[in-house]
Amino acid sequence: MEVADNRPLVAMRPARKRRRGEQDLYAGERLRVARQLAGVSQQQLGDVLGVSFQAVQKYESGENRLSAGRLVKAAAFLGVDLAFFAKEPPPPGGSAAPTNFTTDEIELIRAWRAVESDVLRTQIKRLVQSMARSAHDGGPQSR
């Protein structure tokens, strides 16, 4: 059976819409975090994956799914484990790792990674922890 313009009825079926699954959304968010932490643009990541920056945008929003091969390439390029993209339940008594970092947090993490001295890293960590305790205990705060 054909319609008036001689196209088969099969072609008239509506396109099947894929729903974004929870894992697709999570993996996209984690891709964005890993990319930002690495200081890589969507264009640079797209070049490595062999796709456009628009495709990277769609991966990050969860609109499109990352294939296993592209996910492996992205993990290697961004310097994260493949498990970084998998949604896991939060550890008992703990909280899940944040997926949305502020620009300041990303800059702080990049600077931290640039410090090569373990001694200096330990000193920085103690300083920040001391400042956080002081702020929590009602000490001097600046905004």
74-86: per-residue pLDDT in tens? 999 999 888 888 8
Q: What is the mean pLDDT of residues 31-37?
A: 92
Same domain, 52 and 80: yes
User: Out of 13-17, 56-60, 130-134, which region has the weakest mean confidence (pLDDT)?
Assistant: 13-17
Q: How far apart are the first and last CA of the chain?
A: 72
With respect to residue 10, please indicate whether it lies within any of the assigned structural domains. no
d(CA 60, CA 30): 8
With respect to residue 3, please indicate whether it lies within any of the assigned structural domains. no
Q: Domain containing 110: what range?
A: 101-143
- The pLDDT of residue 34 is 92
Residue identified by tokens 């079926």 is 13
Q: Is the pLDDT of residue 48 over 80?
A: yes
- The model carries a pTM of 0.60
Same domain, 32 and 78: yes
Give the CATH number for residue 73: 1.10.260.40
Identify the residue with better confidence: 9 or 34: 34
Same domain, 26 and 71: yes
86-137: per-residue pLDDT in tens? 877 555 554 555 556 787 888 888 888 888 999 999 998 899 888 888 887 7
Taking CA atoms, 46 is separated from 37, 70, 74, in Å, by 16, 10, 9
With respect to residue 12, please indicate whether it lies within any of the assigned structural domains. no
d(CA 91, CA 30): 18
Q: What is the mean pLDDT of residues 56-61?
A: 93
d(CA 108, CA 78): 17
SS3 label, residue 91: coil
d(CA 53, CA 44): 8
